[in-house]
Amino acid sequence: MSLGPIMMDLVGYSLSELESQQIQEGSVGGIILFKRNYKNKAQLVELVREIRSIKPNILISVDHEGGRVWRFEDDFTKLPAMGVIGRIYDEDVNKAYDLAYSCGFVMASELLEVGIDFSFAPVLDLDYGTSKVIGDRAFHSDPNVVSNLAKHFIKGMADVGMKAVGKHYPGHGFVVPDSHHELPVDSREMSEIEFDLIAFKELVDYGLGGIMPAHIIYENCHSDPAGFSSFWLKDILRKKLNFEGVIFSDDLSMAGAKFIPQIEARVDAALEAGCNMVLVCNNPKELQKVVARKYSFQEGLTLMKGNLDAKVFKMDYSKHIQQVKNYE
């Protein structure tokens, strides 16, 4: 079943009348939840039920990476930052692989159980030790280690029924600025950026369901930020890396996206460049400007629908949650 290309956010613990109307629009195919939408698990289950009573096939997502990016605090098992797993890898490879798998399994299990389709995880950026926003969100500074750990994390997710979204393509770890607050510029040559691409390439071949590009200009490759660049999305990601999954924009209300002043033009540019679904969050006025517009439906988005494997969940959850709790 086809879906519209807009992923919107919500203001509170339940739907407002305006949000209920917006979800009914053909343009809206997804919802992303934030910490402000979570009070407790019972409230979250009711919110998901409320959303699906309006549009049953809508995608519901969250940023649930582990460490400091963790939206649902109570009643959900807290995962370590992925950089913790990378440090364990340097001491004990097999222990790190086991923990990465268990983290993916537990994260996916607990979200699928309450009706959330997927998390925007894992981070595939490299830890260069310079970025204000990445840091220990990255597994490691070595792309081969990132790839190997992410494979185990993604396998844990997949075994219980969830697709993964790798971010922030082609790599956010090198630049210092935070694209939430400004538009970073990466001055490296393509030959250097290809080092960051190693993990993305390996995981495309491994069956990554979605990819989120960065709001960064790689000025020696293309003049537009990656999420608005047909060079990065069509020429490199689709044609060279043979990625066949879903491309999600990062939030188009971030400062890094506002090199195009008008939100309508921003959405059009991201879709034209190759994004399949665009996030419009944390700015209700901008959201209101785009939800009533007409967009082409996106057939491939249903790839990201979650489907809890109840048998695997029942058999293995307790084992993996114990592994996560014992990680220290």
Q: Which of 63, 178, 180, 222 is catalytic?
A: 180
Cα separation, 185 vs 3, whole angstroms: 33
Residues whose CB falls within 8 Å of the CB of residue 229, separated by 6 or more in sequence, listed in order: 213, 222, 273
Is 180 a known active-site residue? yes
User: How many Cβ atoms sit within 10 Å of the Cβ of residue 231?
Assistant: 16
Please say if 215 is a catalytic residue.
no
Given the residues 250, 251, 316, 320, the one annotated as active site? 250
Residue 46 CA to residue 27 CA, distance in Å, equals: 24
Would you please indicate which residues are annotated as catalytic (active-site) residues?
Answer: 180, 250
